[in-house]
Amino acid sequence: MFAERPSTRRKGIMLAAVLGAFLLPVVVEAHAMAVVLQEDASAQPPQQPRLPFNAKSILGKDAEGVAAELGSPVEEETIRGLGQDLPRKYYLDGQVEVTFINGVVDWISVHPDSSYSYLPSALRIVGLSPGSPSFRNEHVIRWKGHEGLAEVSMFPGAERDKVSRITIYATHLPGEGRVHVGYIANSVLHASEQPPNSNEECWKKAGGNLWAGVMLYYGPSRMVVGTVLGGNERYRSPSGDTFRGLKIRYPSGSEEWKDRNAVNLGPWYIRCDDPALARMEWYTIQR
244-266 pLDDT, tens digit each: 899 999 887 788 899 988 898 88
**Of residues 15 and 271, more confidently modeled:** 271
How far apart are the C-alpha atoms of 129 and 111, rounded to whole Å?
A: 18
pTM: 0.52
Of the spans 13-22, 147-156, 276-285, which averages the highest pLDDT? 147-156
DSSP calls for 185-207:
TT-SSBGGGSPPPTTS--EEEST
Does residue 3 have a pLDDT over 60?
no
Indicate whether 190 pLDDT > 70. no
Q: Where are the domains of the chain?
A: 55-169, 193-279
Q: How confident is the model at residue 181 (pLDDT cuts 50, 70, 90)?
A: very low
Q: Does residue 220 surpass a pLDDT of 60? A: yes
- Cα(40)–Cα(36) distance, rounded to whole angstroms? 6
Residue 287 burial (CB count, 10 A): 14
pLDDT tens figures, 126-144: 999 988 999 888 878 989 9
Q: Picking from 22-26, 86-90, 165-169, 185-189, which range would have the lowest pLDDT averaged per residue?
A: 185-189
- Chain mean pLDDT for the chain: 76
pLDDT at 152: 93
Homologous superfamily assigned to 55-169:
protein yfey like domain (2.60.460.10)
Confidence at 201, pLDDT banded by 50, 70, 90: low
Backbone CA torsion sign across 144, 124, 170, 249: negative
- Report the range of poorest mean pLDDT among 67-71, 172-176, 187-191: 187-191
pLDDT of 184 reads 24
**pLDDT tens, 20-64?**
555 555 444 555 555 444 544 444 444 444 567 899 999 999 999
